[in-house]
Structure 1
Amino acid sequence: MRIGDLMTKNLETIEAGEPVRSAALRMRTCNIGSLPVVENGQLVGMLTDRDITVRCTALGQDPNTTPVREIMTTAIITCDVNAPLEEAEKLMEERMVRRLIVIDERRQPVGLLSLDDLASEPEELQYATSVWEHLHH
């Protein structure tokens, strides 16, 4: 199975210059906890609900004026849409992350693959469970 077969395809993104509040509202509306950050169509980072809490709210920054680029995580881990699932599994385990941004041959974000996506496939459930346990120890 390829990464593109299992990834979430309806990818929500946020522009780097948008205010943090816009990102938080989009997360709330879409019931998601992370947004890939783009600038001029290129992937430049990842913003999570934890980034908003730790890097904005806890520091007393104004979410109405603070741009996403100031609090996003710039060390992003990506995987190729045409790569086998095993590659994504290896990346998640090595980098100790729960989600990967899926990119195409032009390095454009086209989807998101999460540990939950892996757990939804019966043959991947055992693997996802072992990664989950590894992340929490």
Structure 2
Amino acid sequence: MKVSEVMTRDVKTVRPDQSAQEAASFMLSEDAGSMPVSEGDRLIGMITDRDIAVRGVAKGYGPDTLVRELMTGDVLCARDDESIEDVAAKMSRAQVRRMPVVDSNERLCGIVSLGDLARETDDQSAEQALEGVSAPGGQHNQG
């Protein structure tokens, strides 16, 4: 089964010129700990609640800080034609619960979550990803 068959297509994103407060509000309304950052249909980064609450606060940034100052620009993505097993393995290695999905033109076309994998599959993919996400991580490198 391909990830395009289980991903969420209606992806909510934030722009790099929006404030951290706006990004946090979107995360709250979507009940998500991370949001893709896009310019048009191009994925340029991800911002997480941890980016805002830990890194931002540690550096003394306020709620008006722009998303571009806090986001992670090097984003691990899934391709829409990848198998769910391969994507689950990627999610496990990267220890992420949500992963953006891009098409062959590098355009953001969806997002896949552990919940999507669990709902739509009857194999070990979601379990594999969850085990990796839940495992103790190494040193965090978030700039």
Q: Deviations over 1:21-74 (max 9, x none)?
A: 11111112222221100135421100111111112234331112x110111111
Q: Distance in 2 between matches of 1:14 and 1:112?
A: 14
Structure 1 runs of 4+ with >4 Å offset: none
- Distance verdict in 2 for CA 1:45–1:9, change over 3 Å: same
Within 5 Å, give how 1:1-137 maps onto structure 2. Answer: 1-64=1-64, 66-124=65-123, 126-137=124-135
Give 3-state SS (helix, strand or coil) of 1:36's partner: strand
C-alpha RMSD of the superposition: 1.8
Q: Distance in 1 between matches of 2:53 and 2:10?
A: 25
TM-score of the superposed pair, with normalisation by structure 1 = 0.86
Q: Distance in 2 between matches of 1:95 and 1:32?
A: 17
TM-score of the superposed pair, with normalisation by structure 2 = 0.83
Counterpart amino acid of residue 57 in structure 1: V
Counterpart amino acid of residue 61 in structure 2: Q
Q: Distance in 2 between matches of 1:42 and 1:130?
A: 29
Identity of aligned residues (%): 36
- Distance verdict in 2 for CA 1:8–1:87, change over 3 Å: same
Q: Distance in 2 between matches of 1:70 and 1:94?
A: 26
- Distance verdict in 2 for CA 1:122–1:91, change over 3 Å: closer
The count of aligned residue pairs is: 135
Any unmatched runs of 5+ in structure 2?
A: 136-143
